[in-house]
Chains A and B, each alone.
Chain A
Amino acid sequence: MSASVEICNVSKLFGNGVRALDKVSLTVAAGEVVCIVGPSGSGKSTLLRTVNRLETVTDGDVLIDGESIHTASKQLNALRQKAGMVFQQFNLFPHLSVIDNITLAPLKVCAEPVETVRQRAQQLLDRVGLGDRGDSYPAQLSGGQQQRVAIARALAMQPEVMLFDEPTSALDPEMVGGVLDVMKALASDGMTMLVVTHEMGFARAVADRVVFMESGRIEQIAQPEAFFEPANGSRLDTFLGQVLR
């Protein structure tokens, strides 16, 4: 059901000479939840996007379940199905109803029977607490609801890894809880999760490990208890001081 992710020595050099990632390595075991935190521009979103190759790499590779993402170009679409992604801006398809948003990819990519897919979509909607909103359009939902639909949409492809790119950053504060609850439930179901977030409370409560990135490098990896332990005036301390204030 869930797979491991190995990020091996990944470097990313943008066209303008900016080194977004500098030899980053990180192994996430199957079923593990890893939160990535860090100041903006530290490369955490870029790192996440290399995992399903929305971002190409200059050097290095990413393995999902042992399969290379950045060399196998032919089965890229098949490999991408293993990694569901949730975006900061939800990116729901505005011209499709909620249920169609969820069923589009399973129907078109996997050519599964309509009935199976619709049933699964309805189960997923129930799971994210929106069972009665299948016929609504994204514009009729609140941000938090849209993000929960986006999670259901990603899950409909039955991924083995879930990538979250600041899933709560575009939400009004009162909407954040609902989305985090869905993510917590997903984590306790044993899904492998890579989460870029500013929600330190979530990281502390759910993550198996927390990664601190800065300037395209991983500065620190630790279990939450150790990670949030105040210590020795490092860069991490300054950062935590700013976000936890």
Chain B
Amino acid sequence: MKSRWFWHGVYGFILLALAVSIYAASRTVDYTWRWDRVPDYIVAYEDADLRTTLTGIVEITDGRVQIIGTQDAAAAESFADLDEILVEDGDYVFDGDVIGSRSGWRIGPLAWGLVVTLQLSILALLFSVPIGLLAGLGRVSTNPAARNLAATYVEIIRGTPLLVQIFIFYFFVGTVLSLSRMTAGVAALAVFTGAYIAEIVRAGIESIPKGQMEAARSLGMSYGQAMRHVILPQAMRRTLPPMAGQLINLIKDSSLVSVIAITDLTKAGREVVNSTFSPFEIWFTVAGMYLVLTASLSLVIRRFELRLARADG
């Protein structure tokens, strides 16, 4: 018991030493740390200017600003709950003029980036699981066409870098099918992850003893019925841990789609660095945000696995 606490102490000490040495290292390069600026890029309480999109006359009634278009009389725009009004009744305003401002909580670019990263990952996951399941079933199929197609897919995807695949999806597939950036990015991630899931599914199916399939078939079940009711339920349970690892990989891999100008967490980080010149803080923050995402996911999966294990009896 005593010695265990000693080693916990050692662990803490090494972490502390690491932190100190990182700090010391940053002191050797003339760098001003400005952590205080970081939170503004996640969430901030600030005034935001509201601008009109019309050209017209201002009408103010009970603190409510209305712009009546002069070019198109039917067009009107109204602003309510303004904290500050910068125009007067009867003013003539042009498209883009500031009407007033409203203060409130704003989601900063890094938080938006996190949302986009989550969106990308969840969408890609939803598509990659069926792709992977199908390709995995193809891998273990006795039909040569299905087997070879699945093997070719997996080989090509696993044999080329994801970054290159993203470029191909964006510049070639995206152009031919006129896909949006987001669609191209999700498709690239889904197809990439699908290949890895296919291998996980194949390994899961192959880990089930041959006797299970034989028993099911000897009872008169078709191959499909045996797969669905006997093999896959057992295989899925075994593939859960590697599948979860793949999901975490997917979140990290999604950072690569920033190269096709999708403003995910990584791209947002790069943009914020450009405007703040605080690369150290921002990149550490971005890393931390990814870590929060992946760590909470691991926690959820761990819970889920424990529940499955209990259900196993």
Q: Complex formed: what's the CA distance from A154 to B218 in Å?
A: 8
B285 lies within 8 A of chain A by Cβ: no
B161 lies within 8 A of chain A by Cβ: no
**What residue of chain A has the Cβ atom nearest to residue B234's Cβ?**
A95
Stretch at the interface among B40-48, B208-216, B262-270: B208-216
Contacts of A108 in B (CB 8 A): 221, 225, 229
Contacts of B237 in A (CB 8 A): 95
Q: A77-B220, A109-B221 are in contact. Are A94 and B234 (CB under 8 A)?
A: yes
Contacts of A98 in B (CB 8 A): none
B233 lies within 8 A of chain A by Cβ: yes
Contacts of A216 in B (CB 8 A): none
B274 to chain A, nearest CB (A): 54
1/0 contact trace for B39-81 toward A, CB 8 Å? 0000000000000000000000000000000000000000000
> Number of residues in B with C-beta < 8 Å to the partner?
19
Contact for A109 among B212, B214, B219, CB less than 8 A: B219
**What residue of chain B has the Cβ atom nearest to residue A137's Cβ?**
B313
Q: Complex formed: what's the CA distance from A154 to B214 in Å?
A: 12
A47 to chain B, nearest CB (A): 15
B175 lies within 8 A of chain A by Cβ: no
Q: Complex formed: what's the CA distance from A52 to B218 in Å?
A: 7
Q: Indicate if the CB atoms of B214 and A87 lie closer than 8 Å.
A: yes
Q: Complex formed: what's the CA distance from A153 to B215 in Å?
A: 10
Q: A95-B233, A137-B313 are in contact. Are A157 and B214 (CB under 8 A)?
A: no
**What residue of chain A has the Cβ atom nearest to residue B228's Cβ?**
A108
B178 lies within 8 A of chain A by Cβ: no
A144 lies within 8 A of chain B by Cβ: no
Contacts of A95 in B (CB 8 A): 233-234, 237
Q: Complex formed: what's the CA distance from A121 to B219 in Å?
A: 14
B308 to chain A, nearest CB (A): 11
**What residue of chain A has the Cβ atom nearest to residue B230's Cβ?**
A93
A155 to chain B, nearest CB (A): 11
Q: A93-B230, A94-B234 are in contact. Are A105 and B219 (CB under 8 A)?
A: yes
Contacts of A91 in B (CB 8 A): 209, 211-212, 214-215
Q: Complex formed: what's the CA distance from A147 to B212 in Å?
A: 14
A43 lies within 8 A of chain B by Cβ: no
Q: Complex formed: what's the CA distance from A85 to B216 in Å?
A: 10
Q: Complex formed: what's the CA distance from A105 to B225 in Å?
A: 9
Q: Complex formed: what's the CA distance from A91 to B214 in Å?
A: 8
1/0 contact trace for A91-109 toward B, CB 8 Å? 1111100000000110011
A38 lies within 8 A of chain B by Cβ: no
B127 to chain A, nearest CB (A): 27
Contacts of B252 in A (CB 8 A): none
A84 lies within 8 A of chain B by Cβ: yes
Q: A87-B211, A87-B215, A93-B215 are in contact. Are A105 and B220 (CB under 8 A)?
A: yes
Contacts of A105 in B (CB 8 A): 216, 219-221
Q: Complex formed: what's the CA distance from A241 to B220 in Å?
A: 40
B217 lies within 8 A of chain A by Cβ: yes
Q: Complex formed: what's the CA distance from A81 to B221 in Å?
A: 9
Q: A91-B212, A93-B230 are in contact. Are A81 and B217 (CB under 8 A)?
A: no
A140 lies within 8 A of chain B by Cβ: yes
Q: Indicate if the CB atoms of B217 and A157 lie closer than 8 Å.
A: no
Q: Complex formed: what's the CA distance from A109 to B229 in Å?
A: 11
B residues near A (Cβ < 8 Å) are 209, 211-212, 214-222, 225, 229-230, 233-234, 237, 313
15 A-B contacts (beta carbon < 8 Å): A54-B217, A77-B220, A77-B222, A84-B218, A85-B214, A87-B214, A89-B209, A91-B212, A92-B215, A93-B215, A93-B230, A105-B221, A150-B215, A154-B219, A157-B219
Known: A84-B218, A94-B234, A154-B218. 9 other contacts (CB 8 A): A54-B217, A77-B221, A87-B215, A89-B211, A91-B211, A91-B215, A140-B313, A153-B219, A154-B219
